[in-house]
Amino acid sequence: MNTPLLLFVLLLSYLIGAIPFAVLVGRLVRGIDVRRTGSGNTGAMNTFRTVGRAAGVAVALLDALKAALAMVFGRLLLGPEAARLCGAAVVAGHCFSPYLIFLARRELASGWKLALRRTGGKGLASGVAVLLLIDWRLAATAVAVFFLALKLVFKDETWPSIVAVGVTPVLVWWLSGDLTTTLAVLLVTAVVIVKHLPDVREGFYVATTNNQ
């Protein structure tokens, strides 16, 4: 594999993933900065809750589309292994956008929770798109685990999301035994889990307060 070309394609995928569609759509549709409303996350779910359903759906589709475009581009240039790595790079860019980090550079000292939320989304829409393009069984399993966990065990989407992405690296290794694919999915899993840490912390705080 052409290493310089791979690095270029991965960087390009990261920058494509970093495009903050939630911020752009929120401002365009209703003049709302999603970084300063609701949870502060710059993703489809916060857009759905604070800007509107149509805007949230549009952001989810755009976030999924940027993952698909980067993976197709990577596959055409370097093959399927590169495409999977491009998908992981898109999710990393979506969750840790250099554009949003630059905009929030004066606010990052106010706490890690705010920094994690205002510098990118949680990677669910783009992550599901990546899983779907790698192997539809991965996406189907993650979605099924999410809804089962949400319905049977948990009251909000935080832990179901973590559990759903947590099973995918094991599943992809079992299905393919391919190291590159497993590493790509593992990176997606790690980034999504890290982006959910503020919600995990808040959940523990609420539970502890209610039990006192």
Q: Is the pLDDT of residue 101 over 90?
A: no
The CA-atom distances, in angstroms, between 162 and each of 143, 183, 197 are 11, 17, 10
The answer to whether the beta carbons of residues 4 and 82 sit under 8 Å apart is: no
Whole-number pLDDT of residue 103? 82
Q: One-letter amino acid identity for 57? A: V
What is this structure's pTM? Answer: 0.92
Q: List the one residue out of 98, 119, 117, 91 whose CA is nearest residue 192.
A: 91
Whole-number pLDDT of residue 184? 94
